[in-house]
Chain A
């Protein structure tokens, strides 16, 4: 591949999954219109969902899912050792994600509830960053393929990798959506990092904060607004905890 006459190097990637729905991996294989161009920038060394290659000479490891079992820790550490760059993709990898809800209960209760007499080994859920060093986080449930494409192009052309710093509201207003609060529902859009195109509020569903906090998010004001709209403190907490992505909001 050449960019403006300069030969570019393909990024050698391995994609690995831990506890999660594998939806983010599927996203990598989505957006068929530009899929060929996208894969042209990469050398896929290991990616169970789209390739039978099982190599371990990757430079960039894309890691999806959270850590919830002992054997996952070992496997993750091995990937970290081999990868020059480790990227956490998706809300589970970045924050623990929906899996993190499990941590509210005792592990014994959790196993009994889900598996009954067919018990399995499990542990408290951790994000990838809680276990190994993460070089880049691409949040979202699922990740936006457009954003992943942009990041890969930035990597290949040597540009800075940037994420929007502002909250979802700006993208929501640009879609001419009705504010979800006006519809009587709670929405974490005002404190959540944009970049999703306000996909949930566009369907009149309140944002649950899967992309983590916007920069300098105003939690105090947000909390007051939610209370003023008649939502109780426990209901607000419940929403804030959904992806474990807005930890800073909870510490207040």
Chain B
């Protein structure tokens, strides 16, 4: 990692330079909710000023830039009784500005699955390699709990990361691309004072978390609580609408669908994001549904997030952004569900 310092006015020049040459996305206010609170999403921007880098959090994560909600994997052309397949991985270079550490760490988790996993995805890889990522630190919101999962700091998976020092950014440079791009603008070597400020900023952010979720030993807790009545309590609220999985930075379960075009001359194979909360997620040919109950479907999402994956790669796939908790109309959120389970386990302990 190489560190530099840049003034905010120079940074603006840098970003505008990137915008001029590349399709660029950044946090933009898209709406105001009923209480007057701004709602942000990552949207395409055509100038620096269209972005709001002091934004709180985007409603949805950046996942869909890498795993589109629906994407064509291949097309087929029929000729007589034969057919030809065509594939397209190509993605034009693009830039995303303003990712939070949870967004970047979410991508690092997806990398493990779609790049380093047993079945690497060329589609994901093409999108990932052609996207230049600029991260930004932020003061945690009331309900952010990424610190509990150690995802409040970034280690890798980005090109450039900016820590806010007031009138300047302290830059962590993690790619030669970023290093070379930065040659076009004025940056300075961090002074001893800059380093101190950078560390103070990190410490300040770490101290500012108000929500903690105890995840230590969670996989074994979940094993023990498989039949807990807690699942029914939350399952009864669940709308099985899939919102949590759509806004989540790491929920990656998907389905594959083949459809014939109306001309009957061509067809396509598509991948689409799905969710274990959805009613027919575990429905198989012949119509049997392995998870007909709401509470089971809800439970398995938690198991995948905090247990299943933990068993495989020794870490949960949840990054603690609480996007699911904020988006859920029924008020289901990881903090309350996990706390409920922990309390329940305590109640089961024999009195000493």
Residues of A in contact with B (beta carbons under 8 Å apart):
1-6, 8, 34, 37-38, 40-41, 149-150, 152-153, 156-157, 159, 165-167, 169-170, 173-174, 176, 178-179, 181-184, 189-191, 214-218, 220-222, 224-225
Contacts and interface: CB of A to CB of B under 8 A. Distances in A.
A190 B241 contact: yes
Given A41-B264, A221-B238, A214 B279 contact: yes
B60 interface: yes
Given A153-B262, A178-B30, A216 B81 contact: no
Given A157-B260, A169-B242, 11 more contacts: A3-B78, A3-B264, A37-B262, A165-B278, A166-B240, A166-B280, A167-B242, A176-B41, A183-B34, A191-B239, A215-B279
B34 A157 contact: no
Nearest to A168: B241
B34 A184 contact: yes
A149 B261 CA distance: 9
Interface residues of B, number: 43
A157 B83 CA distance: 16
A1 B241 CA distance: 40
- B64, B78, B259, B279, most chain A CB atoms within 10 A: B279
B70 interface: yes
Contacts of B278: 165-166, 170
A220 B236 contact: yes
B75 to A, nearest CB: 15
Contact of A218 (B242, B260, B294, B327): B294
A174 B39 CA distance: 16
Where chain B touches its partner, the secondary structure class is loop
A78 to B, nearest CB: 31
A179 B246 CA distance: 13
Given A167-B241, A173-B246, A221 B236 contact: yes
Interface string B240-261: 1111001100000000000111
B281 to A, nearest CB: 9
B280 A215 contact: yes
A246 to B, nearest CB: 14
Contacts of A5: 78, 80-82
Contacts of A222: 239
Contact of B242 (A8, A149, A153, A173): A173
Given A170-B241, A170-B275, A176 B60 contact: yes
Given A178-B30, A216-B240, A173 B327 contact: yes
- For the complex of A and B, the 10 pairs showing the least CB-CB separation, nearest first, are A5-B81, A184-B34, A169-B241, A173-B246, A170-B242, A174-B69, A178-B31, A37-B263, A182-B33, A190-B239
29 contacts: A2-B264, A5-B78, A5-B81, A41-B264, A149-B262, A150-B259, A153-B261, A153-B264, A156-B264, A157-B260, A169-B239, A169-B241, A170-B242, A170-B243, A173-B60, A173-B243, A173-B327, A176-B59, A176-B60, A178-B39, A179-B329, A182-B39, A190-B241, A214-B240, A214-B279, A215-B279, A216-B279, A218-B236, A222-B239
Given A4-B81, A8-B264, A221 B280 contact: no
A183 B33 contact: yes
- A34, A167, A176, most chain B CB atoms within 10 A: A176
B81 A182 contact: no
Contacts of A217: 239
Interface string B70-97: 1000000010111100000000000000
Nearest to B280: A165
A217 B240 CA distance: 8
B29 to A, nearest CB: 11
Nearest to B247: A173
Contacts of A179: 243, 327, 329
A174 B70 contact: yes
Interface in B171-190: none
- A157, A165, A174, A190, most chain B CB atoms within 10 A: A174
- A40, A179, A190, most chain B CB atoms within 10 A: A179
B273 interface: yes
Contacts of A38: 262
Contacts of B224: none
B237 interface: yes
Contact of B243 (A3, A150, A169, A224): A169
A179 B34 CA distance: 11
Contacts of B279: 165-166, 214-216
Nearest to A154: B260
Contacts of A150: 259
Nearest to A219: B239
Given A1-B264, A4-B83, A178-B39, A166 B242 contact: yes
Interface string B43-56: 10000000000000
Contacts of B243: 169-170, 173, 179
B41 to A, nearest CB: 5
A80 to B, nearest CB: 28
A225 to B, nearest CB: 5
B329 A181 contact: yes
